[in-house]
Structure 1
């Protein structure tokens, strides 16, 4: 891997930093080429998992990411075990992304760790900032959700489809909307009903 620890430290530290061609561009191109190779393989090809484990910073047991997906880097994303991501996942992972065990991610989800200053002259100089995203254990993120920099989603929470998550969501919550807000805690109703008025069968 061509990227230096210095470059990673810059991207993973709080505050504004500037894109450094010498430190970052060659390494990012290597990651893009690897991503292309991953997406070109059949889902059943055993080489795919081997490449994924090289591509990401960390990947636990029994991880499945549906093809195709996109990532700025890959090497800033940490996957727990028994995790699943549906089609068209996008990881803007200049900053770090941590995904807990047993978490499920729906189709067309975007996790964005990086933004740019509003001040125009700084953007002309390719200024940016990156804040980590933390997704807890056993979280379900619905289709077409976008999670913005610095957000933490607590264990067991559910994020409804098409939400824009701009602030932290506590554990054991059902949250949705633009911006995403907590609608209610996970409660006794959820012990009996899996969706609306549909009862969970007694024998499962």
Structure 2
């Protein structure tokens, strides 16, 4: 049995040690699965699906990178274009019928603002904040979804947007930082 202390802290959004042996082994397993999937999606799909909790009816164009896969949940009919990067230290939950453009980053991982906590040592660590994306969302290419963000259903994130705050339902957002540019 593994010591799940750091895992539990990680998914709870608390400061945790990313170099914990159990977390390191989970990352290595996920990274290897992503490499296999990127080489041959048909061969790697079953492993990817299993590590993602049995997700169904999704397709991610290679190249795809995910830190853990165990915290990445996609709904039915999810599609992501090439270059998707998901840092899932906390849950990334994506609804049904979501489309993601190329080179999109979805990040839950973040680091303390206090430089002392970013230096290796007894108090060192990182933490995360979950990301939630509703149903029928379209995220344009090169968008960045930052830690702790919720994107409402039926919303559109414009290409190149940097989403730093929650997005309500039925809007289009764009810019850096992203702001509402249109009600849908």
TM-score (norm 2): 0.91
Q: Per-residue displacement from partner, 1:75-105 (whole Å, max 9, x unpaired)?
A: 1100100110000000011111001000000
Structure 1 CA distance for aligned equivalents of residues 85 and 2 of structure 2 = 21
Structure 2 CA distance for aligned equivalents of residues 140 and 149 of structure 1 = 18
Residue 167 of structure 2 is aligned to residue 169 of structure 1: yes
Structure 2 CA distance for aligned equivalents of residues 63 and 170 of structure 1 = 24
- Of the three residues 45, 49, 71, the one matched with 2:45 is 49
Aligned positions, number: 181
Q: Per-residue displacement from partner, 1:59-84 (whole Å, max 9, x unpaired)?
A: 13x21110111111111100100110
The question of whether the paired residues in 1 share the 8 Å contact of 2:105 and 2:144 is answered with: yes
Q: Per-residue displacement from partner, 1:137-186 (whole Å, max 9, x unpaired)?
A: 00000000000000000000000000000000000001111000011210
Q: What's the secondary structure of 1:70's corresponding residue?
A: strand
Q: Structure 1: any 5+ residue segments left out of the alignment?
A: 187-204
Structure 2 CA distance for aligned equivalents of residues 50 and 143 of structure 1 = 27
Equivalent in the alignment of 2:183 = 185
Residue 33 of structure 2 is aligned to residue 37 of structure 1: no
TM-score (norm 1): 0.83
Alpha-carbon shift at residue 135 of structure 1 (Å): 0.3
Q: What's the secondary structure of 1:144's corresponding residue?
A: coil
The question of whether the paired residues in 2 share the 8 Å contact of 1:80 and 1:102 is answered with: yes
Q: Which one has the largest radius of gyration?
A: 1
Q: Which runs of 4+ in 1 moved over 6 A?
A: none
- In structure 2, relative to structure 1, the CA distance for the partners of 1:119 and 1:58 (3 Å cut) is farther
Equivalent in the alignment of 2:145 = 147
Aligned-residue RMSD, C-alpha: 1.7
Equivalent in the alignment of 1:18 = 17
Alpha-carbon shift at residue 8 of structure 1 (Å): 3.1
The question of whether the paired residues in 2 share the 8 Å contact of 1:175 and 1:182 is answered with: yes
Equivalent in the alignment of 1:67 = 62
Q: Structure 2: any 5+ residue segments left out of the alignment?
A: none
